[in-house]
Structure 1
Amino acid sequence: MFVHGERVRLRAMEPADAEALWRWNHDPEVMRWMDAGYPQTLARVGAWLAERPRNTYDDVLFGVDAPAGDETGWQLIGLVRLHGAEPETGCADLDIYLGEKEYWGKGFATDAVRTACRYGFESMRLHKVTLTVVTENAAALAVYRRVGFTEEGRLREVFRRGGRWLDKYTMGLLEGELR
């Protein structure tokens, strides 16, 4: 099953996606604004994708595909995840990143966020999608605001980069606010 946006399609991640995921997770530029965790081997990333439970209401992980511009049709360029969803609250958290840097700044992230949120509101019957973002991550903030997210709070000094502690915004999007 694919979930189509204007520029991207979302699909379930597969073990064959391990190499791209491993490569992105070891690229300092890609991981600049994210909690990178600890380095993993390619075999461990492949095993994680193979062993990962299927997508469920409380945790949906999509690969973000974009047109490849050649005969292959589509290329995996990133991932987006809705997780922590609870039917009682109708809320879920959103995570996204694009690992293929040639797709940065061209509207693919905006379309992926919009498409994932639309899926959450329409298919999962969510009422709200939330996220956190480092306050200095201007590109991500622009994407989230373009889609309709609103800043709801500030988490002080919870992210460390370059020897400095940085703040994060908490942001939220209600189902009627999606643009």
Structure 2
Amino acid sequence: MLEGELVRLRALEPEDAEKIHPWVHDPEVGRWMTNSHPQSLAQIRKRAEERPVNSYELVVLGIEAKAEDKLIGVIDLRDAEPEIGNAELDIYIGDAGYRGGGGYGTEALRLMCRYGFNSMRLHMITLWVVAENERARHVYRKVGFSEDGRHREAFVGADGDRYDMILMSMLKGELR
């Protein structure tokens, strides 16, 4: 487990499927995420039970609010390549009561990036974010990510509109 003042990052358990299921269908959570078709609780349970063991290539952790011992989101480092020391990061806060201003996502990002740089010996962590998701872009910049480029109209929102995606990265030593 990785711990900060507000959050704890821990491996996901199969029983977490019940908590994750409502988040998958929450329009606010999915607004800026690439979504698949609707999933039943049974499908999410099956995926949770069949989740591969965390490894260098893929580390998926639950974000818990420490004070309440409550799962509030998910964060991962994926597609890690030891030869070049790069990985891609994804994060979402699923629990509406912990979104937008409490510092939970910021601390989870810092903990996961520190883990990637120190324990995984990564050199660079990248992520993609929808250009209109300014709240997320602000948090990413605050912890040390820089904007590297733009992929025009690469994201299709739930409304069917197309949005630009911003590539952001952080090098080891840039974490704030």
Q: Secondary structure at the match of 2:37?
A: coil
Residue 135, structure 1, aligned to residue 131, structure 2: yes
Point out where structure 1 has 5 or more consecutive residues left out of the alignment.
Answer: none
Tell me the residue number matched to 2:146.
150
Match of 1:100 among 95, 100, 104: 95
Tell me the residue number matched to 1:171.
168
Identity of aligned residues (%): 53
Point out where structure 2 has 5 or more consecutive residues left out of the alignment.
Answer: none
Would you say the 8 A contact 2:5–2:66 is kept in 1?
Answer: no
Structure 2: distance between partners of 1:48 and 1:21: 11
Structure 2: distance between partners of 1:140 and 1:14: 27
The code of the aligned residue for 2:124 comes to K
The code of the aligned residue for 1:148 comes to G
Structure 1: distance between partners of 2:65 and 2:12: 14
RMSD over aligned CA atoms reads 0.9
**TM-score, L = length of structure 1:** 0.95
Structure 1: distance between partners of 2:10 and 2:3: 9
Q: Secondary structure at the match of 2:110?
A: helix
Structure 1: distance between partners of 2:15 and 2:67: 17
How much does 1:163 deviate? 3.2
What are the equivalent positions in structure 2 for 1:5-154 lying under 5 Å apart? 5-69=4-68, 74-104=69-99, 105-154=101-150
Q: Secondary structure at the match of 2:54?
A: coil
Structure 1: distance between partners of 2:40 and 2:145: 35
Query: Could you give the per-residue CA deviations for residues 53-86 of structure 1, whole angstroms, max 9, x where no partner exists?
Result: 10000000000000344xxxx0000000000001
**TM-score, L = length of structure 2:** 0.96
Query: Could you give the per-residue CA deviations for residues 81-123 of structure 1, whole angstroms, max 9, x where no partner exists?
Result: 0000010010000000000111112110000111100000111
Would you say the 8 A contact 2:6–2:67 is kept in 1?
Answer: no
How much does 1:52 deviate? 1.1
Give 4+ residue runs of structure 1 displaced > 3 Å after superposition. none
